[in-house]
Structure 1
Amino acid sequence: MPDDSGPLLLGPLLRYAGPTSATVWVQSRDHSRVTVRAFGREWSATTFGVHGHHYALVVLGGLEPGASSDYTVDIDGEQVWPPADPAYARFPASRVTTLDPHEPSRIAFGSCRTSVSHDAAGNASNGVDALRAYALELSRTDPQRWPHLVAFLGDQVYADMTSDEMQDFIRARRDPSQPPWLELKDYQEYAHLYRLAWTEPANRWLLSTLPSTMIFDDHDIRDDWNTSQQWHREMNAKPWWHERIVGGLASYWVYQHAGNLSPEELATDEIWQAIAAHAGSGAEDEIDLTETLDAFAERVDRRPDTYRWSYTRDLGESRLVVVDSRAARVLEPSRRSILDDAEMEWLDEQLQGGVEHLFVGTSLPFLISPGLHDFEAMNEAMASGAWGPWLARHAEGLRRTVDLEHWAAFQEGFAQVLEMVAAVARGERGRAPGTVTFLSGDVHHSFVTEVDPKVLGPGASRVVQAVCSPIRNPMPRGIRIMTALMARGLVRPMRFLAGRSSKVPDPAYPWRVTHGPWYENCLATLHVRGRGLVITWEAGEVSGDHHDQPELRRVARVAIS
């Protein structure tokens, strides 16, 4: 169980780190003043409250580009980080490192991480935690070689597949024989789930010293979240769903989203404006955002176009655009799109050239294996009634059973974004980048796909999809056979079937699986090499009975030249 004895309950997490500013997130036990000391200076913030919990996001400003400093955290004048706990003695001091705009980018990324024990039992059920193995390796590595950030691309927590520890917490506060059973019910349970996910010492140290970006996927809320109009109607009819979605989105803003934003973006965020206004008033009390965040979460669930979860990170020579592929979907069968009109317009503005590399982070892979893409496109047409109501009913069931809900299952939106990307690659939106690279997770196996360079024309960017999934939640062996067939053996049969129907759109630009699939728990690291990239997938491996001391093992290395 997480330790509640000290004033610091969770964190610190180093979230945003730009050339001249950074943010550090903490959860404290009480209403307090949180101070971060680095670079011979200090910055402070008073906590804000949500459902009886206390948080602070401390903004560090006026920094120099490419600078690095160890940092400490005080709560009400008491130093709480680094902790006195001997479990942290082997880790270097946590540090803030600002972005050097001229240094080639290094990005670690991955998705899908369950929070179970790191002993023999946990490794047997869920495999070795690749993030923890990466943290242990990083602690022994020259900081000059560390990534500039780690991008967590969905399923940071599992609200619907709970661990034994989480179930113990649920049983202690309510009857699990009643809905929603052993799934999460509300904000209080989300708060406990995040603490279980982020308190293990090695992972906690890594989160304290590597800047991070995050975006949700379905399991952060519930499996198949917004997969179809019928799913949406059924879930909203359940009496327990309202509290779940409100708790899920409110806690997501607190634990994940606020830290995604730069100080400039925070200044325009409606929730942060309430925090800033209270701080600027000189009030000594703590602002309680419980009602504000609950009302906000309810509104943005019902009207997704009133708030944007997507965001961007400028990386100097490159740019990262992180896209919400869950909350802003259009689900009407006649015009399904993974992005609504407002989100599509925003993405259209962000997909521009003039950078060395354009990275698009989206939890759901954009360019999945061609066989699976055609299968999902055919399923969407069937479920929308293209071949009558009988097939539509069965197609809807199949869609949920085998998760046919990626970009390919939203053909209208997929085609729009593919044309935008092709325009960037051809240099029609500024100088063509070296690559337009999608970074994704979700599918519990890793691979690389690439658009055929010949169809984009001479001098065009390489258009690549890189997937790293899972960090810790391996795919069952039986399902691996199907994914392998879709990646290779069934590509031509599926293309033949899809191509024969006028009701299934043909992709404008063909692509293929170039590397993979791989099925290990992995974390990937991307290195910019001029106009090219090198991407490495690494897994944790246990030697003998040393289950808590995994070593990193390279699974694959792919060069995009």
Structure 2
Amino acid sequence: MSFQCNSTLGPILILDTVVDQKLHLSALFIAARREAVAPVELPDGKVDPVRLADYNDATVWRARFTLPADRPSEYRWNGTTYEVMGDLTGDLRLAYVSCNGEEVGDMDREEAERNAMWERLRGEHRRRPFALMLHGGDQVYADEVTEGNDLSHDWPERIPRDPSRAALDDLRHHLRERFLERYAALYAAPQFAWLGARVPSLMQWDDHDICDGWGSLRRSRTYSPVGQTLFEVARESFLVFQQATTHGDLPARFADPTGQHLGWVIHAPDLRILAPDLRSERTRRQIMGLGGWAMMEAETQRQVRGHTLLMSSVPLLGPRLSLLEALMVVIPRMQKYEDDLRDQWQSRAHRDEWRRMLRLVRDLARRDGHDITAVSGEIHLATRAVMDLGGGLHLNQLVASGIAHRAPPRAWARFLGALSWLGEDPVPEHPIRVARLPGQADRYIAERNYLILQRDDKDWTARWDLETSGMTKALDL
């Protein structure tokens, strides 16, 4: 059964880049296949949307335009005026969210319960507007899109070895329609739709935007014809729905125009937002490939004023998970969680690469002479950690996860807290310490949450909005 688009969804604002005090924006729309989309109205004229992608009964459209990056502004669409805070030059607020869904039954959840934290975030924007909304991965939970097709129904446990070209074409069509269905459901939610039309988004992907554990699964799965078809469709869907673009048309913020990896960087006044791609080049033995590392190394040579936000979809700092990983190997019933731990920087399989990234972050901080803040999601908990970079500099790791995914049992949070007491020092002379959120007794908080990053007179602070405990006090960064 195809997705039925009964009314046009959008606009959803995506930030393409920032150049010469201008926000270069894309507005995304999803409309019925034969329905035209009204132009975006600006003070200096109108912009007609262009067709981005076609589906059975829907078409995705995009309108590209600019707004000021040094003052608030507005645009109109279909009779509604949308105010955009837009000023990146002085005091500002950024929202950080991740894990917008669940692995099983996400589309059957009751709307008010599922989107309760989005409603809270909307209230925060009304109180004091956000300039940007950062999405740290798992914007969509696509784990169930493989169901309903003979080739992928039992993914990843059982897959055919040599499917026909016609069968793979049928699978591709099936997956494209299922991805459309999920993205449209997310963008139709009124709590998100209201924010998405007013706050430009910057998104990076993680495994559930493809499938659970992508890159940490066995090569026999990911490199199979079914696995490669799944990845290709997930990648196309990520570009269309999260970046408002297509292959060969990547905005200037992306480091690799060919899209072999999808890492990107934004340079704004006294602010760099750096988002490496931790999925496109991932295998069971590596997190990033040559392209991703080339992007990161290039940033170490760039002189940057102000503050750096490093978006690492998987937390860069945390407890000694390699011990838990070793334990799981010898306990058969726990081996099903091996992929979850191999996903982490701290995995034994990625130890050398983790050290390389931590040294690179240290070098970034030393070159620019300022602290660096890493923001992450993925683990469905709220926590933070600090790494001493030497010379009075620090790497602050802030984890906000998830905005819609319900929290795991508190016992799991307590277990991770106990594990964190062991400490971790993968890079000599730069110890890592898992710390508490302001006002919280535990190191890991099992509540849904999102993060607010705020700059006031060049000083940065962070606050978590926790579903039950409420807003934390400000943490100085």
Range into which the TM-score falls when normalised by the shorter chain: 0.7 to 0.9
Alignment of 1:326-475 (within 5 A): 326-331=279-284, 336-351=285-300, 352-369=302-319, 371-372=320-321, 374-375=322-323, 379=326, 397=335, 400=338, 402-409=340-347, 410-426=350-366, 429=367, 431-433=368-370, 435-452=371-388, 456-457=390-391, 460-475=392-407
- Contact 1:159–1:222 (8 Å) recurs in 2: yes
Residues 486 and 259 (structure 1), Cα distance of their counterparts in 2 relative to 1, 3 Å cut: farther
Encode CA deviations 1:82-111: one digit per residue, 9 max, x unaligned: 4xxxxxxxxxx42244444x2134211121
Question: In structure 2, what is the Cα distance between the partners aligned to 1:531 and 1:316?
Answer: 11
Residues 408 and 422 (structure 1), Cα distance of their counterparts in 2 relative to 1, 3 Å cut: same
Aligned twin of 1:225: 214
Encode CA deviations 1:138-157: one digit per residue, 9 max, x unaligned: 34x2xxx3121111111111
Q: Percent identity of the aligned residues?
A: 19
TM superposition score normalised by structure 2: 0.80
Indicate whether 1:212 and 2:201 are aligned.
yes
Indicate whether 1:131 and 2:118 are aligned.
yes
Aligned twin of 2:41: 37
Q: Relative to structure 2, which stretch is displaced further, 359-368 or 20-29?
A: 20-29
Aligned twin of 1:254: 240
In the alignment, residue 5 of structure 2 is paired with which amino acid?
D
Question: In structure 2, what is the Cα distance between the partners aligned to 1:340 and 1:471?
Answer: 30
DSSP-derived class of the 2:473 partner: strand
DSSP-derived class of the 2:435 partner: strand
- Contact 1:113–1:471 (8 Å) recurs in 2: yes
Question: In structure 2, what is the Cα distance between the partners aligned to 1:531 and 1:479?
Answer: 37
Aligned twin of 2:10: 11
Residues 367 and 211 (structure 1), Cα distance of their counterparts in 2 relative to 1, 3 Å cut: same
In the alignment, residue 61 of structure 2 is paired with which amino acid?
A
Question: In structure 2, what is the Cα distance between the partners aligned to 1:177 and 1:313?
Answer: 37
- Contact 1:157–1:219 (8 Å) recurs in 2: yes
Aligned twin of 1:23: 26
Q: CA RMSD in A?
A: 3.6
Indicate whether 1:511 and 2:432 are aligned.
yes
In the alignment, residue 556 of structure 1 is paired with which amino acid?
T
DSSP-derived class of the 2:12 partner: strand
Question: In structure 2, what is the Cα distance between the partners aligned to 1:347 and 1:268?
Answer: 12
Residues 232 and 558 (structure 1), Cα distance of their counterparts in 2 relative to 1, 3 Å cut: farther
- Contact 1:38–1:96 (8 Å) recurs in 2: no
Question: In structure 1, what is the Cα distance between the partners aligned to 2:231 and 2:459?
Answer: 41
Segments of 5+ residues of structure 2 without an aligned counterpart are 157-170, 437-442
- State the Cα distance separating 1:131 from its structure 2 match: 1.8
User: Pick from 107, 114, 132: which aligns with 1:149?
Assistant: 132
Question: In structure 2, what is the Cα distance between the partners aligned to 1:267 and 1:309?
Answer: 7
Residues 54 and 2 (structure 1), Cα distance of their counterparts in 2 relative to 1, 3 Å cut: closer
User: Pick from 306, 324, 339: which aligns with 2:277?
Assistant: 324
- Contact 1:107–1:148 (8 Å) recurs in 2: yes
- Contact 1:37–1:71 (8 Å) recurs in 2: yes
In the alignment, residue 290 of structure 2 is paired with which amino acid?
D
DSSP-derived class of the 2:195 partner: helix
Larger radius of gyration: 1
- Contact 1:47–1:56 (8 Å) recurs in 2: yes
- State the Cα distance separating 1:188 from its structure 2 match: 0.6
In the alignment, residue 357 of structure 2 is paired with which amino acid?
V
Residues 446 and 186 (structure 1), Cα distance of their counterparts in 2 relative to 1, 3 Å cut: same
- Contact 2:265–2:273 (8 Å) recurs in 1: yes
Encode CA deviations 1:355-380: one digit per residue, 9 max, x unaligned: 211111121001113x33x436x74x
- Contact 1:110–1:471 (8 Å) recurs in 2: yes
Alignment of 1:109-124 (within 5 A): 109-114=96-101, 115-116=106-107, 119=110, 123=113
DSSP-derived class of the 1:48 partner: strand
Residues 119 and 268 (structure 1), Cα distance of their counterparts in 2 relative to 1, 3 Å cut: closer
In the alignment, residue 375 of structure 1 is paired with which amino acid?
L
User: Pick from 423, 432, 451: which aligns with 1:524?
Assistant: 451
Question: In structure 1, what is the Cα distance between the partners aligned to 2:333 and 2:390?
Answer: 34
- State the Cα distance separating 1:217 from its structure 2 match: 0.8
Encode CA deviations 1:150-207: one digit per residue, 9 max, x unaligned: 1111111111157xxxx9xx77xx68994459x9951110000101111011211111
Aligned twin of 2:93: 106
- State the Cα distance separating 1:212 from its structure 2 match: 0.5
Aligned twin of 2:439: none
Indicate whether 1:312 and 2:244 are aligned.
no
Aligned twin of 1:245: 231
- State the Cα distance separating 1:456 from its structure 2 match: 0.5
- State the Cα distance separating 1:265 from its structure 2 match: 4.7
Segments of 5+ residues of structure 1 without an aligned counterpart are 74-78, 83-92, 271-305, 384-390, 500-504, 542-552
In the alignment, residue 432 of structure 1 is paired with which amino acid?
G
Encode CA deviations 1:210-254: one digit per residue, 9 max, x unaligned: 1101111111111111115xx2323434x6434322221111111
Question: In structure 1, what is the Cα distance between the partners aligned to 2:62 and 2:30?
Answer: 9
- Contact 1:59–1:263 (8 Å) recurs in 2: no
DSSP-derived class of the 2:463 partner: strand
- Contact 1:99–1:315 (8 Å) recurs in 2: no
Q: Structure 1 or 2: larger helix share?
A: 1
Indicate whether 1:535 and 2:462 are aligned.
yes
* Alignment: residue pair count: 439
Q: Relative to structure 2, which stretch is displaced further, 12-21 or 249-258?
A: 12-21
Question: In structure 2, what is the Cα distance between the partners aligned to 1:42 and 1:177?
Answer: 44
Alignment of 1:293-304 (within 5 A): none
Question: In structure 2, what is the Cα distance between the partners aligned to 1:197 and 1:445?
Answer: 21
